[in-house]
Structures are given as C-alpha cells and as structure tokens.
Amino acid sequence: MQKKLFKNISSPWIEVYFRRSGYKIIAGIDEAGRGAIAGPVFAACVILPFDFFSEEIKDSKKLSPKKREELFQKICNIALDYTIAKSDVDEINSEGIFKATFKAMLRAIKGLKIKPDLILVDGPYAIPEYKGIQKAIVKGDSTSISISAASILAKVSRDKYMKELDKKYPQYAFSKHKGYATDLHFKLIKKYGLSPVHRSYYKCFKNNV
C-alpha cells in the first residue's frame, strides 16, 4: 500500500501525499513512555513548514541521545507550532496507559495555537475524543517527518523529566533506564519496593516485587 502511495513522489515523507490531497497545515503527533513501567507518558504535536524536509529527522529510537538533543532545538526553532503534554502516573494507574496516552495527545493538540487541517497519529489507532480530521499511520515515525519530529520532542522531554525524578528517587536509577523494564530497574524495585511514580497497576509487578 505504502509503496503505491509514494510512487512518483520525490520526497519519502507521507506529508507530500496528503498535501497533494489538499491538506495544507499538517500536524504530527507521537508519544514517549507508553512502554515504561514508571513515570508519565509524554506526547508532542508538531506543525512543520510546508516545504521543510530533513534527512536527519527520523524516529527518535534510531537516534543517539546527543543527536536527539540537537534536533530538539532545531525542530523547536523551525516549527510553525509545537506543544508537549503529559499524563501523570496517577492517571495511568486509574485509567490505564491506553486512555492516558490519548489524553496526553489530546492535551498536546489543544495546546496548539495554529489549527491543523489534518493530524497524523503514530500507530494503528486514532485519538478517540479528537473531533478534527486525523489519520492513524502505522510506523508513522518512519514515514512522516511531522511524526518523527514529534517523537523527538516527546522523547527528549520525557528523558529530561525522568532525570529530574532520579534526583528525587535516586535509589531507582531513573536517569539510566528512564523508567523502562530493564533488569536493573526490577532489581532495584525488589530491593526498595515501588515508589509513587511506578505504574503500580501493571501485572509485571505481581511477579517481580
């Protein structure tokens, strides 16, 4: 499907297709931290200039921390508009990570000053409560420059937040694993128990705490 979609398009980014379909102001949205077991989930929404393309901007997971930091500043400087939002652990524990992630995304969209014609959402699901036009793009962080840019903003912002949590809860080494389910993280949880920033409702804690 995507091979046909990109046929005869000079740029690999999916935005070109949607602009040819009549959408002028396109926003990309992505999350960071959905797969973690501690800390909030972040979401970023980015509107890039119509003619902006960059080979450097790609899925944040494919970039080094240093490169993500560099691109974070570049994206913030070049973007027509961008926002970063989050859902805290209390929301994740009470409503589940799925709903909390969409809440963070919706907050990011509502924070935009420019109203987009179209929002591209990374993943297979559209944002349930968003009433505007949106398209869910599987592997969007690899095919949409707007989503890739959003993934970088969300990832860098969340990593910084987890480093701050590391100062408050140094025994968990959040600055190293950023709240993800590493062997080190589970080892420290077994030693110190759960903190207020752990997603305590997760099933993984039943067998590892």
**What local confidence, expressed as pLDDT, does residue 12 receive?**
60
| Domain ranges, residue 62 | 2-208
**What local confidence, expressed as pLDDT, does residue 15 receive?**
94
User: By mean pLDDT, which of 27-31, 57-61, 79-83, 90-94 is the weakest?
Assistant: 57-61
CATH of residue 140's domain is 3.30.420.10
Token pair of 73, please?
A: 């500043």
Q: Any alpha helices (H) in 111-169, and if so which ranges?
A: 140-143, 145-168
Burial degree of 176 (CB within 10 A; 0-12, 13-18, 19+) = middle
Q: What does the CA dihedral 18, 150, 124, 112 come to, rounded to 10 degrees?
A: -70
Residues 145-154: pLDDT tens digits? 999 999 999 9
Q: Which residues contact 54 (CB under 8 A, 6 or more apart)?
A: 74, 145
pLDDT confidence bin for 207, thresholds 50/70/90: low
Token pair of 8, please?
A: 């005869």
Overall number of domains in the chain: 1
